[in-house]
Amino acid sequence: MSVLVTGGGGFLGRYLVEQLLQHGESVRVLGRQRYPDLERLGVECIQGDLRDASAVEKGVKGCDVVYHVAAIAGIWGLWSDYYGINVEGTDNIIAACKAWNVERLVYCSSPSVTFDGTDQKGVDEKAPYPETWLAHYPHSKSIAEQSVLAANRPGTLLTCALRPHLIWGPRDQHLIPRLIARAKTGKLRVVGDGKNLVDMVYVENAASAHIQAAGALLESPEKVGGKAYFITQGAPVRLWDWINDILALEGLPPIRKRVSANVAYYAGAMMETAYKMVGRMNEEPRMTRFLARQLATHHYFDISAARHDLGYSPKISTEEGMRRLADDLASRR
């Protein structure tokens, strides 16, 4: 088949592209820059912005399946940026899929679309969207997810959404490097009591889930079409123990200093206000309300639906993933 991966040059996107190539697919990538390393693998790279409908149409045209992975992520910034890329960009993808008779669209969403700032303990896909939001990213992703799911039309376009939580692994250029950098400068603190359980997912498992979802849409459209699925390792970990395990791979001591969940939350609120007042919307505060709640609360999910409907299971264990991450970090030194 001919497939398009938006954001194929990113962390998750590259793993997805590599797995699709291993399956013998003809792969095209739409991104904001060229990727010579992917082109050398035989990938067709189209340079363009999701907000440019003509660029999106060029990327979608002639494809059987679209994996929409590209997004602007983060805990801070302008609503116009998040809305433009995550919402309008997704609308452009949906419109192009309909115009060019794409069979299937798999959207990479986020569990944060259900996060209201309180504990989430084993919740499933019945969890509602919040009425208020602590950050633009989950808000914009929820709008986009709902648009994708509403676009599901058997016989026209089949859609589903995946919600991989806390994607990690080798070649990550964001989450793990930032953790290590903050720890080295002494800016990392345990938020809350340090006992909160969270789910996460190894990057190759997250990529495999997307391919399984596309297959399930074809095999069981009445079961999978128009639905969202949580994707994790299937076994939550204590967040701060896991962070300390990652830091240990770099020979760094565990985080001992603590700050209460409430203090972190109100500090985040004050920083947000201050940054807005002085117009520092392109400079991320050290703490925000959303980040404080994410670091202090339980958030783990029931992935029974993904196991049953998609045939998903995490093939690479957390222990094996950590071994691979250790090798990757060692190779960067």
Which residues are designated catalytic? 137
**Angle, alpha carbons 87-88-89 (nearest 5°):** 90
Residue 287's Cβ-side half-sphere holds a number of Cα atoms within 13 Å equal to: 23
Alpha carbon 264 to its chain centroid, in Å, reads 24
Q: At residue 239, what are phi and psi to the nearest 5 degrees?
A: -55, -50
Residue 205, by phi and psi: left (phi above 0), alpha (psi -120 to 50) or beta? alpha
Helix/strand/coil for 310: helix
H helix or E strand, kind and range, residue 45:
strand 44-47
**Residues near 302 by beta carbon (within 8 Å), at least 6 away in sequence:** 122, 123, 124, 230
Radius of gyration of the chain (CA): 20
Are the CB atoms for 296 and 196 separated by under 8 Å? yes
Of 156, 304, 143, 146, which Cα lies nearest the Cα of 217? 156
Residue 231, by phi and psi: left (phi above 0), alpha (psi -120 to 50) or beta? beta
CB atoms within 10 A of CB 222: 8
CA quadruple 258, 261, 262, 265: dihedral sign: positive
Tokens of 297: 């609360």
Tokens of 217: 């849409």
